[in-house]
Amino acid sequence: MKPILGITMGDPTGIGSEIIVKALENNHIYSISHPIVIGDEKILQRALKITNSSLKLKTIQQDEDFLGKFGEINVLNLTNLPADLPFAHIDPRAGKAAYDYIEKAVKLALEQKIHAIVTAPINKEALHIAGKNFPGHTEILATLSNTINYSMMLISKKLNVIHATTHVSLRKACELIKKERIFNVIKLADEYTKMIGITNPRIAVAGLNPHASENGLFGKEEQEEILPAITQAKHLGINVFGPIPPDTVFHRAANLNEFDIVVVMYHDQGHIPIKLLGFETGVNVTAGLPFIRTSVDHGTAFPIAGQGIADCRSMEESLHLAAKMANIKYTK
């Protein structure tokens, strides 16, 4: 059976509805999955007009309606936003709606009524003024599913990375580089690269400091925290290497094909090379959740929202990867 993918619409004032409609114009998505959109019917109807799409919307209520067909977009309609909700505005109604879509998707995933969650981008400021004080999707999903050990993983055609820390200050990130955290992220890297189809993943661990500290000349984190975590992971049979200087590890992974994934120490250490190599097609995966979650690796793109010109390739890649992961997970 093809997996059911629950697509959350994201912030209704951004490009989420538009890229969803564009992605679902690809018949191949329906050949590998049953997509449903968890969002607002009126906002999606507006997206159809903006993109000149010939697709039709079908409002669904019951579980048996989750099986769809190409040409129709199944919509689980949760909110009643105005059809003329302004684009590109920070709006508490949009922030609350975006949270509600995620909350419903998590409920369906935990009940195993859908096989994966695919998320469109949210606006963190709108989320906050709606009273939902989370740094982003990852933390919302972890909280709603009572998950403690999780990590952000970014997938692209040339490079894959997984983060030890994400939405914290650089100073705080340095404080969080501890053996236990690095060890847990290495284990997640091993588990989730297998879930995307890599049988025996080669895992590189980037250093935190310049030149991975040159044996302690430029910092102690590599010797005291990172290397012991790598040694512990090796004892479990994990194929892991490092710490490797951060100014060479991405070249070795992306261009020389020495590694399948890089464990990075902080947000920008991983995001910069991913966005340089695959800005339009990168996919965000939350590793460690009790369900599969993929997402576009970009934001709400307010400057172009409502113009019908948003690039949907990252959404398409997110849907493809979610279907692939679901097939691997549920057919073992």
Q: pLDDT for 224-248, tens place per residue? A: 999 999 999 999 999 999 999 999 9
- Predicted pLDDT of residue 61: 81
| Four-way CATH pick for 149-288: 3.40.50.1010, 3.40.50.1820, 3.90.550.10, 3.40.718.10 | 3.40.718.10
Q: d(Cα 121, Cα 10) in Å, to the nearest integer?
A: 5
- Cβ atoms < 10 Å from Cβ of 330: 13
- Predicted pLDDT of residue 217: 85
User: What is the DSSP code string of 24-84?
Assistant: TT-HHHHHH-EEEEEE-HHHHHHHHHHTT---EEEE--SGGGG---TTEEEEEE-----TT
For residue 78, what are the CA distances in angstroms to 38, 107, 118, 291?
7, 13, 17, 21
Strand partners, 117: 6, 293
**Does 36 have pLDDT greater than 70?**
yes
Scan for tokens 């997509």, then name that residue. 35
Q: Residue 60 corresponds to which amino acid?
A: I
> Phi and psi dihedrals of 296, rounded to 5?
-60, 150
Q: pLDDT for 291-306, tens place per residue? A: 999 999 899 999 999 9
- Predicted pLDDT of residue 331: 64
19 closest CA partner among 306, 330, 230: 306
**Does 332 have pLDDT greater than 70?**
no
**Does 62 have pLDDT greater than 80?**
no
How much is the average pLDDT of 194-221?
94
**Does 267 have pLDDT greater than 70?**
yes
Provide CATH 3.40.718.10 ranges for the chain: 1-147+290-332, 149-288
Q: d(Cα 29, Cα 70) in Å, to the nearest integer?
A: 9
Q: d(Cα 12, Cα 94) in Å, to the nearest integer?
A: 6
Q: What is the DSSP letter of 3?
A: P
* Residue 103: both structure tokens together: 């909350």
The distance of Cα 87 from the centroid of its chain, to the nearest Å, equals 23
CATH 2.60.40.790 fits 1-147+290-332, yes or no: no
Q: pLDDT for 96-131, tens place per residue? A: 999 999 999 999 999 999 999 999 999 999 999 999
Q: What is the DSSP letter of 213?
A: G
**Does 215 have pLDDT greater than 90?**
no
- Predicted pLDDT of residue 282: 87
- Predicted pLDDT of residue 309: 96
Where would I find the beta strands (DSSP E) of 207-321? Answer: 240-244, 261-264, 283-287, 292-296
pTM of the predicted model as reported, rounded to 2 decimal places: 0.93
- Predicted pLDDT of residue 68: 87
**Does 179 have pLDDT greater than 60?**
yes
Among left, alpha and beta (phi > 0; psi -120 to 50; other), residue 25 is: alpha
pLDDT band per the 50, 70, 90 thresholds, residue 135: confident
- Predicted pLDDT of residue 229: 98
Lowest mean pLDDT among 3-17, 57-71, 139-153: 57-71
- Predicted pLDDT of residue 1: 80
Scan for tokens 């049953």, then name that residue. 34
